[in-house]
Amino acid sequence: MIKPYAAGQLLPRYVDDAERRAALLSEAETLPSVLVSSAAAANAVMLGGGYFTPLSGFMNRADALAVAESMHTDAGLFWPAPVLNLLPDAGALQGAERIALRDPNVDGNPVIAVQHVASVDTLSETDMDTICDRVYRTRDAAHPGVAAFRSVGSTAVAGDIEVLNFSYFEQDFPATFRTAVEIRAAIEERGWQRTVAFQTRNPMHRAHEELCKMAMEAVQADGVVIHMLLGKLKAGDIPADVRDAAIRKMVELYFPPNSAMITGYGFDMLYAGPREAVLHAIFRQNMGATHFIIGRDHAGVGDYYGAFDAQTIFDEEVPKGVLDIEIFRADHTAYSKKLGRVVMMRDAPDHAKDDFVLLSGTRVREMLSQGVAPPPEFSRPEVARILMQHYQGAAG
Protein backbone atom coordinates (compact mmCIF):
# COMPACT_ATOMS: atom_id res chain seq x y z
CA MET A 1 0.00 0.00 0.00
CA ILE A 2 1.18 3.55 -0.70
CA LYS A 3 3.18 5.00 2.17
CA PRO A 4 2.07 8.08 4.09
CA TYR A 5 3.76 11.29 3.04
CA ALA A 6 7.33 11.72 4.35
CA ALA A 7 6.82 9.06 7.05
CA GLY A 8 6.86 5.30 7.40
CA GLN A 9 3.47 5.37 9.07
CA LEU A 10 0.65 7.78 9.77
CA LEU A 11 1.27 10.12 12.69
CA PRO A 12 -2.19 11.11 13.95
CA ARG A 13 -2.21 13.53 16.88
CA TYR A 14 -5.52 12.29 18.26
CA VAL A 15 -5.09 10.81 21.75
CA ASP A 16 -6.58 7.36 21.29
CA ASP A 17 -5.89 6.15 24.82
CA ALA A 18 -8.99 6.92 26.93
CA GLU A 19 -7.02 7.22 30.17
CA ARG A 20 -4.53 9.66 28.66
CA ARG A 21 -7.36 11.64 27.07
CA ALA A 22 -9.19 11.94 30.38
CA ALA A 23 -5.99 13.11 32.06
CA LEU A 24 -5.49 15.76 29.39
CA LEU A 25 -9.08 16.97 29.74
CA SER A 26 -8.53 17.29 33.47
CA GLU A 27 -5.23 19.13 32.93
CA ALA A 28 -6.90 21.44 30.40
CA GLU A 29 -9.12 22.84 33.16
CA THR A 30 -6.00 24.14 34.92
CA LEU A 31 -4.36 25.64 31.82
CA PRO A 32 -4.73 29.05 30.21
CA SER A 33 -7.27 28.61 27.44
CA VAL A 34 -7.82 30.36 24.15
CA LEU A 35 -10.77 30.32 21.79
CA VAL A 36 -9.14 29.49 18.47
CA SER A 37 -10.37 30.34 14.98
CA SER A 38 -12.44 27.94 12.93
CA ALA A 39 -9.41 27.44 10.66
CA ALA A 40 -7.16 26.50 13.60
CA ALA A 41 -9.81 24.13 14.98
CA ALA A 42 -10.02 22.49 11.56
CA ASN A 43 -6.22 22.25 11.45
CA ALA A 44 -6.39 20.47 14.81
CA VAL A 45 -8.94 18.02 13.38
CA MET A 46 -6.67 17.36 10.39
CA LEU A 47 -3.64 16.88 12.64
CA GLY A 48 -5.68 14.60 14.85
CA GLY A 49 -6.82 12.44 11.94
CA GLY A 50 -3.36 11.97 10.42
CA TYR A 51 -4.04 13.99 7.27
CA PHE A 52 -1.20 16.39 8.09
CA THR A 53 1.39 13.63 8.58
CA PRO A 54 4.28 14.17 9.27
CA LEU A 55 3.42 17.46 11.02
CA SER A 56 2.89 17.29 14.78
CA GLY A 57 1.48 20.75 15.45
CA PHE A 58 1.31 24.38 14.43
CA MET A 59 4.12 26.19 12.61
CA ASN A 60 6.12 29.15 13.87
CA ARG A 61 6.69 32.35 11.92
CA ALA A 62 9.93 31.15 10.31
CA ASP A 63 8.38 27.94 9.04
CA ALA A 64 5.21 29.66 7.87
CA LEU A 65 7.20 32.18 5.82
CA ALA A 66 9.56 29.52 4.48
CA VAL A 67 6.60 27.42 3.40
CA ALA A 68 4.92 30.43 1.78
CA GLU A 69 8.06 31.46 -0.09
CA SER A 70 9.60 28.11 -1.03
CA MET A 71 7.10 25.38 -0.11
CA HIS A 72 9.63 23.98 2.37
CA THR A 73 9.93 24.35 6.12
CA ASP A 74 13.17 25.63 7.64
CA ALA A 75 14.18 21.99 8.19
CA GLY A 76 13.59 21.17 4.52
CA LEU A 77 10.23 19.38 4.61
CA PHE A 78 8.23 20.03 1.45
CA TRP A 79 4.85 21.51 2.44
CA PRO A 80 2.59 23.76 0.35
CA ALA A 81 0.72 25.97 2.84
CA PRO A 82 1.33 27.27 6.39
CA VAL A 83 -0.45 25.45 9.22
CA LEU A 84 -1.02 28.12 11.83
CA ASN A 85 -2.78 28.83 15.08
CA LEU A 86 -3.34 32.57 14.76
CA LEU A 87 -4.78 34.59 17.63
CA PRO A 88 -5.67 38.29 18.00
CA ASP A 89 -3.05 38.74 20.74
CA ALA A 90 -0.87 36.86 23.23
CA GLY A 91 -2.69 38.11 26.32
CA ALA A 92 -3.73 34.74 27.75
CA LEU A 93 -0.40 33.08 27.00
CA GLN A 94 1.96 35.00 29.27
CA GLY A 95 4.60 32.53 30.47
CA ALA A 96 2.43 29.50 29.61
CA GLU A 97 4.16 26.29 28.52
CA ARG A 98 0.90 24.52 27.68
CA ILE A 99 -2.51 25.88 26.71
CA ALA A 100 -5.99 24.52 26.12
CA LEU A 101 -7.48 25.22 22.69
CA ARG A 102 -11.22 25.78 22.73
CA ASP A 103 -13.47 25.01 19.78
CA PRO A 104 -15.40 27.97 18.31
CA ASN A 105 -17.72 25.69 16.32
CA VAL A 106 -19.30 23.69 19.16
CA ASP A 107 -21.70 25.01 21.79
CA GLY A 108 -19.95 25.67 25.07
CA ASN A 109 -16.55 25.88 23.35
CA PRO A 110 -15.15 22.58 24.67
CA VAL A 111 -11.42 21.91 24.63
CA ILE A 112 -10.44 20.41 21.28
CA ALA A 113 -6.70 20.05 21.98
CA VAL A 114 -3.87 20.79 24.37
CA GLN A 115 -0.92 22.58 22.81
CA HIS A 116 2.68 22.85 23.92
CA VAL A 117 3.78 26.45 23.46
CA ALA A 118 7.09 26.29 21.61
CA SER A 119 7.03 29.94 20.56
CA VAL A 120 4.77 32.96 20.23
CA ASP A 121 5.50 35.20 17.25
CA THR A 122 3.85 38.26 15.78
CA LEU A 123 3.40 38.25 12.04
CA SER A 124 4.06 41.70 10.61
CA GLU A 125 1.91 43.24 7.91
CA THR A 126 4.72 42.37 5.49
CA ASP A 127 4.61 38.75 6.68
CA MET A 128 0.85 38.60 6.16
CA ASP A 129 1.23 40.11 2.70
CA THR A 130 3.92 37.58 1.80
CA ILE A 131 1.71 34.66 2.80
CA CYS A 132 -1.21 36.08 0.82
CA ASP A 133 0.94 36.78 -2.22
CA ARG A 134 2.54 33.36 -2.34
CA VAL A 135 -0.17 31.02 -1.04
CA TYR A 136 -3.31 32.73 -2.36
CA ARG A 137 -1.59 34.70 -5.17
CA THR A 138 -3.56 37.78 -4.17
CA ARG A 139 -4.12 40.26 -1.34
CA ASP A 140 -7.64 41.00 -2.50
CA ALA A 141 -9.95 41.14 0.52
CA ALA A 142 -12.75 39.81 -1.72
CA HIS A 143 -10.92 36.47 -1.94
CA PRO A 144 -12.62 34.29 0.72
CA GLY A 145 -9.39 32.57 1.75
CA VAL A 146 -7.53 35.87 2.14
CA ALA A 147 -10.46 37.34 4.06
CA ALA A 148 -10.55 34.39 6.47
CA PHE A 149 -6.76 34.41 6.93
CA ARG A 150 -6.64 38.13 7.73
CA SER A 151 -9.65 38.05 10.05
CA VAL A 152 -8.25 35.95 12.92
CA GLY A 153 -5.19 37.86 14.14
CA SER A 154 -1.45 37.92 13.63
CA THR A 155 -0.12 36.23 16.78
CA ALA A 156 1.21 32.80 15.79
CA VAL A 157 1.36 30.23 18.57
CA ALA A 158 3.58 27.33 17.51
CA GLY A 159 3.98 23.90 19.02
CA ASP A 160 2.90 20.28 19.07
CA ILE A 161 -0.68 19.43 19.94
CA GLU A 162 -2.58 16.52 21.41
CA VAL A 163 -6.08 16.34 19.97
CA LEU A 164 -8.98 15.30 22.20
CA ASN A 165 -11.92 15.22 19.78
CA PHE A 166 -12.89 15.85 16.18
CA SER A 167 -15.08 18.92 16.75
CA TYR A 168 -18.61 18.71 15.34
CA PHE A 169 -17.73 16.43 12.45
CA GLU A 170 -18.21 13.08 14.20
CA GLN A 171 -21.61 14.07 15.62
CA ASP A 172 -22.96 15.89 12.54
CA PHE A 173 -21.66 13.45 9.93
CA PRO A 174 -21.31 10.05 11.64
CA ALA A 175 -21.72 8.09 8.39
CA THR A 176 -19.32 10.26 6.41
CA PHE A 177 -16.57 11.84 8.51
CA ARG A 178 -13.48 9.64 8.51
CA THR A 179 -9.89 10.20 9.58
CA ALA A 180 -6.99 9.34 7.31
CA VAL A 181 -6.35 6.42 9.65
CA GLU A 182 -9.88 5.08 9.11
CA ILE A 183 -9.88 5.50 5.33
CA ARG A 184 -6.49 3.83 4.99
CA ALA A 185 -7.79 0.89 7.05
CA ALA A 186 -10.97 0.68 4.95
CA ILE A 187 -8.98 0.63 1.69
CA GLU A 188 -6.76 -2.10 3.08
CA GLU A 189 -9.78 -4.09 4.27
CA ARG A 190 -11.33 -3.93 0.80
CA GLY A 191 -8.09 -5.12 -0.74
CA TRP A 192 -7.90 -2.16 -3.13
CA GLN A 193 -4.41 -1.89 -4.60
CA ARG A 194 -5.08 1.14 -6.80
CA THR A 195 -7.43 3.76 -5.41
CA VAL A 196 -8.57 7.02 -7.00
CA ALA A 197 -9.49 9.95 -4.75
CA PHE A 198 -12.00 12.61 -5.79
CA GLN A 199 -12.18 15.89 -3.89
CA THR A 200 -15.45 17.79 -3.81
CA ARG A 201 -16.94 20.77 -2.04
CA ASN A 202 -20.02 20.68 -4.30
CA PRO A 203 -22.76 18.21 -5.18
CA MET A 204 -21.72 15.84 -7.96
CA HIS A 205 -23.36 16.22 -11.34
CA ARG A 206 -23.14 13.81 -14.28
CA ALA A 207 -19.77 15.21 -15.32
CA HIS A 208 -18.25 14.52 -11.87
CA GLU A 209 -19.74 11.04 -11.77
CA GLU A 210 -18.35 10.16 -15.18
CA LEU A 211 -14.99 11.74 -14.38
CA CYS A 212 -14.59 9.36 -11.43
CA LYS A 213 -15.44 6.42 -13.68
CA MET A 214 -13.07 7.63 -16.42
CA ALA A 215 -10.23 7.95 -13.93
CA MET A 216 -10.88 4.51 -12.46
CA GLU A 217 -10.84 2.97 -15.92
CA ALA A 218 -7.77 4.89 -17.07
CA VAL A 219 -5.58 3.86 -14.11
CA GLN A 220 -7.25 0.45 -13.65
CA ALA A 221 -8.26 1.32 -10.12
CA ASP A 222 -10.16 -0.99 -7.79
CA GLY A 223 -12.31 1.84 -6.48
CA VAL A 224 -12.79 5.54 -5.85
CA VAL A 225 -12.90 7.40 -2.55
CA ILE A 226 -15.29 10.34 -2.90
CA HIS A 227 -13.85 12.63 -0.28
CA MET A 228 -16.02 15.65 0.47
CA LEU A 229 -14.99 18.69 2.45
CA LEU A 230 -17.21 19.04 5.52
CA GLY A 231 -15.78 22.22 7.01
CA LYS A 232 -16.48 25.91 6.50
CA LEU A 233 -17.12 27.20 2.99
CA LYS A 234 -17.83 30.60 1.50
CA ALA A 235 -21.31 32.09 1.59
CA GLY A 236 -23.61 30.59 -1.02
CA ASP A 237 -21.98 27.14 -1.20
CA ILE A 238 -24.31 24.21 -0.62
CA PRO A 239 -24.28 22.90 2.98
CA ALA A 240 -22.42 19.67 3.65
CA ASP A 241 -25.49 17.68 4.71
CA VAL A 242 -27.24 18.43 1.40
CA ARG A 243 -24.13 17.54 -0.61
CA ASP A 244 -23.78 14.35 1.40
CA ALA A 245 -27.35 13.26 0.68
CA ALA A 246 -27.04 14.06 -3.03
CA ILE A 247 -23.75 12.20 -3.43
CA ARG A 248 -25.04 9.15 -1.56
CA LYS A 249 -28.08 8.97 -3.83
CA MET A 250 -25.90 9.20 -6.93
CA VAL A 251 -23.55 6.45 -5.76
CA GLU A 252 -26.43 4.22 -4.69
CA LEU A 253 -28.08 4.38 -8.11
CA TYR A 254 -25.29 4.90 -10.61
CA PHE A 255 -22.06 3.30 -9.38
CA PRO A 256 -21.30 -0.43 -9.45
CA PRO A 257 -21.61 -2.05 -5.99
CA ASN A 258 -18.52 -1.68 -3.77
CA SER A 259 -16.73 0.58 -6.26
CA ALA A 260 -17.11 3.87 -4.39
CA MET A 261 -16.42 4.81 -0.78
CA ILE A 262 -18.19 7.97 0.44
CA THR A 263 -16.19 9.84 3.05
CA GLY A 264 -15.57 13.36 4.29
CA TYR A 265 -12.96 15.34 6.15
CA GLY A 266 -13.04 18.25 8.59
CA PHE A 267 -11.13 21.08 6.96
CA ASP A 268 -12.04 24.69 6.23
CA MET A 269 -11.63 25.45 2.54
CA LEU A 270 -8.74 27.78 1.73
CA TYR A 271 -9.68 28.51 -1.91
CA ALA A 272 -5.93 28.66 -2.50
CA GLY A 273 -6.03 27.06 -5.95
CA PRO A 274 -2.69 25.48 -6.93
CA ARG A 275 -1.19 25.49 -3.43
CA GLU A 276 -4.31 23.89 -2.01
CA ALA A 277 -4.30 21.29 -4.79
CA VAL A 278 -0.88 20.14 -3.59
CA LEU A 279 -2.10 20.10 0.01
CA HIS A 280 -5.10 18.02 -1.11
CA ALA A 281 -2.73 15.56 -2.78
CA ILE A 282 -0.85 15.11 0.50
CA PHE A 283 -4.13 14.48 2.31
CA ARG A 284 -5.03 11.77 -0.21
CA GLN A 285 -1.64 10.08 -0.09
CA ASN A 286 -1.89 9.98 3.68
CA MET A 287 -5.34 8.35 3.53
CA GLY A 288 -4.04 5.66 1.17
CA ALA A 289 -5.09 6.75 -2.33
CA THR A 290 -2.66 6.03 -5.16
CA HIS A 291 -4.22 8.50 -7.64
CA PHE A 292 -5.86 11.88 -7.21
CA ILE A 293 -8.13 13.64 -9.71
CA ILE A 294 -7.34 17.30 -10.34
CA GLY A 295 -9.54 19.11 -12.82
CA ARG A 296 -9.96 22.66 -14.05
CA ASP A 297 -9.52 25.36 -11.41
CA HIS A 298 -9.17 22.85 -8.58
CA ALA A 299 -9.72 24.58 -5.20
CA GLY A 300 -10.12 27.87 -7.01
CA VAL A 301 -12.56 30.73 -6.69
CA GLY A 302 -13.43 33.60 -9.01
CA ASP A 303 -10.76 34.41 -11.59
CA TYR A 304 -7.74 34.31 -9.30
CA TYR A 305 -6.11 31.25 -10.91
CA GLY A 306 -5.61 29.95 -14.42
CA ALA A 307 -7.79 27.03 -15.48
CA PHE A 308 -4.95 24.50 -15.23
CA ASP A 309 -2.62 26.14 -12.69
CA ALA A 310 -3.55 23.46 -10.15
CA GLN A 311 -2.14 20.86 -12.55
CA THR A 312 0.97 22.66 -13.79
CA ILE A 313 2.15 23.36 -10.24
CA PHE A 314 2.96 19.64 -9.98
CA ASP A 315 5.32 20.02 -12.95
CA GLU A 316 6.81 23.40 -12.12
CA GLU A 317 7.00 23.66 -8.32
CA VAL A 318 6.66 20.19 -6.76
CA PRO A 319 10.07 18.49 -6.64
CA LYS A 320 10.27 15.23 -8.56
CA GLY A 321 9.72 12.19 -6.39
CA VAL A 322 8.60 14.04 -3.27
CA LEU A 323 5.04 12.72 -3.58
CA ASP A 324 4.19 9.08 -4.27
CA ILE A 325 0.58 9.76 -5.24
CA GLU A 326 -0.06 10.19 -8.97
CA ILE A 327 -2.16 13.02 -10.39
CA PHE A 328 -4.94 12.25 -12.85
CA ARG A 329 -5.29 15.44 -14.88
CA ALA A 330 -8.81 16.14 -16.00
CA ASP A 331 -10.19 18.65 -18.46
CA HIS A 332 -13.65 20.20 -18.29
CA THR A 333 -16.09 17.31 -18.60
CA ALA A 334 -19.53 17.60 -20.18
CA TYR A 335 -22.25 15.68 -22.00
CA SER A 336 -21.71 15.47 -25.76
CA LYS A 337 -24.90 15.71 -27.80
CA LYS A 338 -23.01 14.26 -30.78
CA LEU A 339 -21.72 11.19 -28.93
CA GLY A 340 -24.56 10.73 -26.45
CA ARG A 341 -22.25 10.47 -23.45
CA VAL A 342 -20.08 12.50 -21.09
CA VAL A 343 -16.58 13.21 -22.39
CA MET A 344 -13.61 15.37 -21.53
CA MET A 345 -13.78 18.33 -23.84
CA ARG A 346 -10.15 17.93 -24.87
CA ASP A 347 -11.03 14.48 -26.23
CA ALA A 348 -13.63 15.93 -28.58
CA PRO A 349 -11.68 18.41 -30.75
CA ASP A 350 -14.31 18.26 -33.50
CA HIS A 351 -17.00 19.65 -31.16
CA ALA A 352 -18.24 23.21 -31.01
CA LYS A 353 -19.46 24.70 -27.73
CA ASP A 354 -23.08 24.07 -28.72
CA ASP A 355 -22.35 20.36 -29.08
CA PHE A 356 -22.09 20.08 -25.28
CA VAL A 357 -24.70 20.43 -22.55
CA LEU A 358 -23.19 23.31 -20.59
CA LEU A 359 -24.86 25.21 -17.76
CA SER A 360 -23.34 27.86 -15.54
CA GLY A 361 -23.50 27.45 -11.78
CA THR A 362 -25.70 30.54 -11.60
CA ARG A 363 -28.16 29.11 -14.14
CA VAL A 364 -28.28 25.76 -12.33
CA ARG A 365 -29.03 27.49 -9.01
CA GLU A 366 -31.79 29.52 -10.65
CA MET A 367 -33.38 26.39 -12.10
CA LEU A 368 -33.20 24.47 -8.85
CA SER A 369 -34.64 27.32 -6.82
CA GLN A 370 -37.54 27.54 -9.27
CA GLY A 371 -38.22 23.82 -8.95
CA VAL A 372 -36.95 23.12 -12.47
CA ALA A 373 -34.67 20.11 -12.81
CA PRO A 374 -31.59 20.59 -14.99
CA PRO A 375 -31.56 18.29 -18.03
CA PRO A 376 -30.73 14.64 -17.21
CA GLU A 377 -27.58 14.96 -19.34
CA PHE A 378 -26.34 17.45 -16.75
CA SER A 379 -27.71 16.14 -13.44
CA ARG A 380 -29.20 12.84 -12.40
CA PRO A 381 -32.92 13.48 -11.70
CA GLU A 382 -32.77 11.86 -8.25
CA VAL A 383 -29.87 14.17 -7.32
CA ALA A 384 -31.65 17.19 -8.76
CA ARG A 385 -34.69 16.50 -6.56
CA ILE A 386 -32.56 16.66 -3.40
CA LEU A 387 -31.00 19.93 -4.54
CA MET A 388 -34.34 21.44 -5.54
CA GLN A 389 -35.70 20.72 -2.06
CA HIS A 390 -32.73 22.55 -0.55
CA TYR A 391 -32.96 25.60 -2.79
CA GLN A 392 -36.73 25.91 -2.49
CA GLY A 393 -36.47 25.56 1.28
CA ALA A 394 -33.78 28.21 1.41
CA ALA A 395 -35.89 30.52 -0.76
CA GLY A 396 -38.92 29.96 1.48
Catalytic residue positions? 201-202
The rounded distance, in Å, linking the Cα atoms of 47 and 49 is 6
β partners of residue 260: 224
Q: What is the DSSP string of 175-224?
A: TTB--HHHHHHHHHHHT-SSEEEEEESS---HHHHHHHHHHHHHHT-SEE
Nearest CA among 161, 153, 94 for reference residue 124: 153
Dihedral sign for Cα atoms in the order 129, 134, 135, 138: positive
CA atoms of 215 and 139, how far apart (whole Å): 35
Q: CA angle, corner 39, sides to 35 and 45, nearest 5?
A: 90
DSSP string, 134-163: IIIS---TTSHHHHHHHTS-SEEEEEEEEE
